[in-house]
């Protein structure tokens, strides 16, 4: 089953390579979506893929890249994610 989620990661997630880490892990798990920094220091993540792959990926990103520390990861399912069948780092 394909699922789509909007997520917000907060903690030490900016300036530590977290977006690149999320991107690389998404590619490894064959997921679509995007990741971008927010003005409040958190990171927005949109992801689409099979339930199994998304669950594995979430477990991995919660572990972090050795520099990041997620204090909170909120998630909600959504109907629409604009991804053009890629995963990207957004700079908007």
List the catalytic residue out of 12, 37, 60, 90: 37
List the catalytic residue out of 12, 19, 60, 65: 19
For residue 65, indicate whether it is catalytic: no
For residue 36, indicate whether it is catalytic: no
SS (H, E, C) the chain: CEEEEEEEEEEECCCCCHHHHHHHHHHHCCCEEEEEECCCCCEEEEEEEEHHHHHHHHHHHHHCCCCCEEEEEEEEECCCCCCCCCEEECCC
Catalytic residues: 19, 37
């Amino acid at each position: 089953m394909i699922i789509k989620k909007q997520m917000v990661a907060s903690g030490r997630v900016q300036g530590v390579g977290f977006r690149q880490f999320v991107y690389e892990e998404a590619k490894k798990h064959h997921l679509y979506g995007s990741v971008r920094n927010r003005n409040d220091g958190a990171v927005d993540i949109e992801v689409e893929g099979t339930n199994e792959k998304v669950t594995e990926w979430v477990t991995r990103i919660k572990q972090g890249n050795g520099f990041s520390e997620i204090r909170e990861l909120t998630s909600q399912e959504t109907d629409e994610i604009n991804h053009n069948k890629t995963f990207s780092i957004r700079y908007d």
